[in-house]
Structure 1
């Protein structure tokens, strides 16, 4: 995902769309019931303060703002994973305690918030980085990538969560330092194909296609995301600077399946089972159809492709792992919120029904 300022680069406003109830989703579900369900279907979560999580939330108020995530309208959750965004990597390395952080972790990312989701069968992860903290990633990795990985592993163990790497340096990423981070994390929490250990879930964000964050994309695809010797569980193909059309979205995601053989070094193809597709639900001043109107959404229009995309040089099974949505609650200071009266049960929740998303998340495909 792209944090804060890049999230604000949005297109012209759409007409407001009413919350769509379940019947539209039920029709789609009937038409697509024969397809394999998506395994990953989740949302990045920014709390109510534009992704800083700098205050402890009142749990009753938090539930009011986020109940759609745990109840799509029939008692079942709308998602099977939530990624709390963002932890500042340099503060984590330094163990900073200040007005918004305790020992390097945003105070709002606490056990009660984690338990709120896990009590409903929703997996929880913490995202380290975001574009605002790119420079802090650079500093932290240059200083001690191994120690940063160890601290991330300890944080995961303390809260019972997974970790997402969101390092958005497209020009000169510190891949040596990032390798040290991953090695240290995996020393504490080895890769777990069963998915039973939540702390072993370690993922990375890449761009919507292969043409941005190319260095990180190339290194991660070649070294960490192979099906023969997996190190990371999967990559998230993030959202571009505005919501794409269905055709543009598919073209972006296809780049990961194809790789970039003419690049130097070449980006190898990525197995469909090793990445998810990202879409907006809240974008600047707009609540998208992806949030409130599944029938008119990009996830509805691209869902068949996402579930059936064929391998093209990597992997042996068809279909991406699923969708991730940017972002629950309030991803920008002057932007829209997914809290009531909005809520995304009619978009994300209806999609969970249409795509027969399993909750809790099952063991992920490995090939």
Structure 2
């Protein structure tokens, strides 16, 4: 028997003996109990997907090859998908506005973002969205919003209807974003696909990318938090806090995400607090020449180290429920021409797949928390 265990047993016997001798009962010792930390389960657990040509999706995929490279997304090893969301990245906003048909696009949409690819995921219960923009197309966002923002919104809505998908806005103008134009884009999209709290209509899912914290894309972040991401009158479903320039440590990731929750009252105009239920946090699975633990080693990953914090992050001026919505991972298959890919043997079952099991990711994605 362990010596500490023996001492406790002997001590208990002495107390009982003393009680029998004196006729009194020993007073129980109060043991402090730590209060339970309120938390919410992860609801969004997704991957941005760049196809096999560094995010252009400019070729029609052979679906046998596509399955070989992406099977880990639909099967984490037990027949269950690793994610409940895939975001195909990127649509060029100016080509979409102009309805461009060329070697890589049809009516403004990349030829690789087709029904076969969408159905590959949706047939396994995985929600699909298309991301419009990305850092490469920032100038094209500016031009398209200036030319006809409302028409761009209508064309995005029509593309969503055609493929049965949602739309993500990735507009990375950090100095002078056209917020009036972006408001017109969103209003036109919502006229076709109204906000749907139930999540039942995939085309109604409209989201926005913001920076990892509040210190970049400041004007966009301020306006979106005040006007599109409120819990009282939501316009967008949620935001994605994107990856920073390199994979953050757990403490840096939490610090970045806390900035959104707290806001920046010292800015002019101030950035208000964002409800934890209104955004996800982004992490790398493949970064430059490195496959990250997020992909192949959940135990040593940032998502493992931040999981408890993310699920219990408390509101700080906006929202009522604890916990961010979940994680987004950058990026599946081939995010750059020179970097690593998540093709075999670098499949992400050991990271994202294990995380899906560990966190009990729901499939299909449920109705999202609204406050």
TM above 0.5: yes
Q: Helix, strand or coil for the counterpart of 1:301?
A: helix
User: In structure 2, how many angstroms separate the alpha carbons of the residues matched to 1:239 and 1:36?
Assistant: 23
State the match for 1:51 in structure 2. Answer: 55
User: In structure 2, how many angstroms separate the alpha carbons of the residues matched to 1:68 and 1:60?
Assistant: 14
Q: Write out per-residue CA displacement over residues 56-90 of structure 1, whole angstroms, 9 at most, x where no aligned residue.
A: 00001000000000000000000000000000000
**Structure 2 vs 1, CA of residues 36 and 312 (structure 1 numbering), >3 Å: closer, same or farther?**
closer
Deviation at 1:269, TM superposition (A): 0.3
- Root mean square deviation, CA, Å: 0.8
Q: How does 1:82-121 map to 2 (within 5 A)?
A: 82-121=86-125
State the match for 1:341 in structure 2. Answer: 345
Q: How does 1:1-367 map to 2 (within 5 A)?
A: 36-367=40-371
Tell which has more relative contact order, 1 or 2 (C-alpha 8 A, sep 6+). Answer: 1
Q: Helix, strand or coil for the counterpart of 1:108?
A: coil
User: In structure 1, how many angstroms separate the alpha carbons of the residues matched to 2:254 and 2:283?
Assistant: 11
Deviation at 1:262, TM superposition (A): 1.1
Q: Helix, strand or coil for the counterpart of 1:82?
A: strand
**Contact 2:335–2:341 at 8 Å: present in 1 too?**
yes
TM-score (norm 2): 0.89
Q: Write out per-residue CA displacement over residues 331-358 of structure 1, whole angstroms, 9 at most, x where no aligned residue.
A: 0000100010110010001001011110
**Contact 2:231–2:370 at 8 Å: present in 1 too?**
yes
User: In structure 2, how many angstroms separate the alpha carbons of the residues matched to 1:130 and 1:209?
Assistant: 17
**Contact 1:37–1:358 at 8 Å: present in 2 too?**
no
User: In structure 2, how many angstroms separate the alpha carbons of the residues matched to 1:220 and 1:349?
Assistant: 32
User: In structure 1, how many angstroms separate the alpha carbons of the residues matched to 2:268 and 2:168?
Assistant: 27
State the match for 2:16 in structure 1. Answer: none
User: In structure 2, how many angstroms separate the alpha carbons of the residues matched to 1:261 and 1:201?
Assistant: 30
User: In structure 2, how many angstroms separate the alpha carbons of the residues matched to 1:283 and 1:306?
Assistant: 22
Task: Give the number of equivalent residue pairs.
Answer: 334
Q: Write out per-residue CA displacement over residues 111-169 of structure 1, whole angstroms, 9 at most, x where no aligned residue.
A: 00000000000000000000000000000000010000000000000000000000000
**Structure 2 vs 1, CA of residues 317 and 35 (structure 1 numbering), >3 Å: closer, same or farther?**
closer
User: In structure 1, how many angstroms separate the alpha carbons of the residues matched to 2:267 and 2:97?
Assistant: 34
Q: Helix, strand or coil for the counterpart of 2:364?
A: coil
Deviation at 1:36, TM superposition (A): 3.8
**Contact 2:39–2:322 at 8 Å: present in 1 too?**
no
Q: Helix, strand or coil for the counterpart of 1:253?
A: helix
Deviation at 1:35, TM superposition (A): 5.8
Deviation at 1:37, TM superposition (A): 2.4
User: In structure 2, how many angstroms separate the alpha carbons of the residues matched to 1:80 and 1:189?
Assistant: 22
